[in-house]
Amino acid sequence: MFSLALALLAGPVSSEVTLPAQPAPLHGTLSAPDSPAAVAVILPGSGPTDRDGNSPMGVSASTYRLLAEGLAAQGIATVRIDKRGIAASAAAGPAEADLRFDAYVADARAWAAEAARRADKPCAWLIGHSEGALVALKAVEGGDDKVCGLVLLSGAGRPAGVVLREQLEKGLPEPLKAPAFAALAELEAGRTVADPPPALAALFRPSVQPYLISWLPLDPAALLAAYDGPVFIGQGTTDLQVGIADAQALAAADPRATLKLWDGVNHILKTAPAARAANLATYADPALPLAPGVAEDVGAFIRANDEH
């Protein structure tokens, strides 16, 4: 009895994990409760987002670490990763001009197999957050027996070009809209843009255009419609980056999916008001817990749908 109490007090064991890759290994953290009921890989969102969900671009909310801890409390192991080119996996990153979306997809499949092996399970769940949700959807295209199912959190439900047009329409001065939309149309057609206007260089710089060309054609709803495994869709109602309409588009593509709308929850899965400044303030607050119900809903779905 005393040893059991000590084990419970000790909680899950976290350890560094390495995945062989070229040109250098990939790195992550395995959080494993004793005899886990299931295992999942947490796939990060866009930009320089690390395994904990943090970024040098002003994000220190530790969303993925908190999610891993919440799932471990429910008996679910997780591997959260530094994606290729980021943090401890920096050496595995190619030059920006050589990066393609499929590199993240291949890594997600490899991490699923590695997580399943380490947890002694036949498969692993993919938990994709933000752009990671699209990586997860693409990773199961055509089937993957190492993936048990998908958890899509704060993920877009429409092609990136549609969302980008909405953002550019709202955010650009009128004179820049026409050249921006023209550049976007060229990239969607698979053609690079030789001389983007200087004011648009950050978005359409030549070195990032090959990645954009590999990303823009992807339709998350179409990918989901073609997948026949269990799917959980989680979306906050005060998300400033992805809207409820995206979650509903995903749910419409797969009527069997479980859709959960979290009231008053933002993009990084924290309780936040709709007001922009107060919402964004949560991005820099690692002491703020995940919104109540987020980890619990995800864990309950995985446990209810894990057949292994």
For the ranges 14-18, 108-112, 160-164, 281-285, which has the lowest average pLDDT? 160-164
pLDDT level of residue 2 (50, 70, 90 thresholds)? very low
**Does residue 17 carry a pLDDT above 50?**
yes
Q: Kindly state whether residue 152 falls inside one of the protein's structural domains.
A: yes
**Does residue 222 carry a pLDDT above 80?**
yes
Q: Kindly state whether residue 3 falls inside one of the protein's structural domains.
A: no
Tally of domains in the chain: 2
**Does residue 93 carry a pLDDT above 60?**
yes
Q: What confidence score (pLDDT) does residue 144 get?
A: 77
State whether 189 and 147 are in the same domain: no
Q: For position 256, which CATH number holds?
A: 3.40.50.1820
Q: What confidence score (pLDDT) does residue 193 get?
A: 95
Percent of the chain whose predicted confidence (pLDDT) is above 90: 85
The domain boundary, picked from 212, 244, 275, lies at 212
Q: What confidence score (pLDDT) does residue 167 get?
A: 82
State whether 196 and 296 are in the same domain: no
Q: What confidence score (pLDDT) does residue 195 get?
A: 85
Q: What confidence score (pLDDT) does residue 4 get?
A: 38
Q: What confidence score (pLDDT) does residue 170 get?
A: 82
State whether 271 and 243 are in the same domain: yes
Mean pLDDT (whole number) for 109-129: 97
State whether 284 and 147 are in the same domain: yes
The DSSP string of the chain is -HHHHHHHHH--EEEEEEE--SSS-EEEEEEE-SS-SEEEEEEP-SSS--TTS-BTTTB---HHHHHHHHHHTTTEEEEEEE-TTSGGGGGG---GGG--HHHHHHHHHHHHHHHHHHHT-S-EEEEEETHHHHHHHHHTTT--TTEEEEEEES--SS-HHHHHHHHHHHHS-HHHHHHHHHHHHHHHTT---SS--GGGHHHH-GGGHHHHHHHTT--HHHHHHT--S-EEEEEETT-SSS-HHHHHHHHHH-TTSEEEEETTB-TTSSB--SSHHHHHHGGG-TTSPPPTTHHHHHHHHHHHH---
pLDDT tens for 177-206 read 999 999 999 999 999 999 888 889 889 999
pLDDT tens for 232-277 read 999 999 999 999 999 999 999 999 999 999 999 999 999 999 999 9
Q: What confidence score (pLDDT) does residue 3 get?
A: 39
The domain boundary, picked from 169, 186, 212, lies at 212
Instruction: Tell me what the pLDDT averaged over the chain comes to.
Output: 93
**Does residue 123 carry a pLDDT above 90?**
yes
**Does residue 7 carry a pLDDT above 50?**
no
**Containing domain of residue 184, as a range?**
161-212
Q: What confidence score (pLDDT) does residue 166 get?
A: 85
State whether 27 and 166 are in the same domain: no
State whether 123 and 249 are in the same domain: yes
Q: What confidence score (pLDDT) does residue 25 get?
A: 97
**Does residue 6 carry a pLDDT above 60?**
no
Q: Kindly state whether residue 4 falls inside one of the protein's structural domains.
A: no
Q: What confidence score (pLDDT) does residue 308 get?
A: 64
State whether 146 and 199 are in the same domain: no
State whether 250 and 191 are in the same domain: no
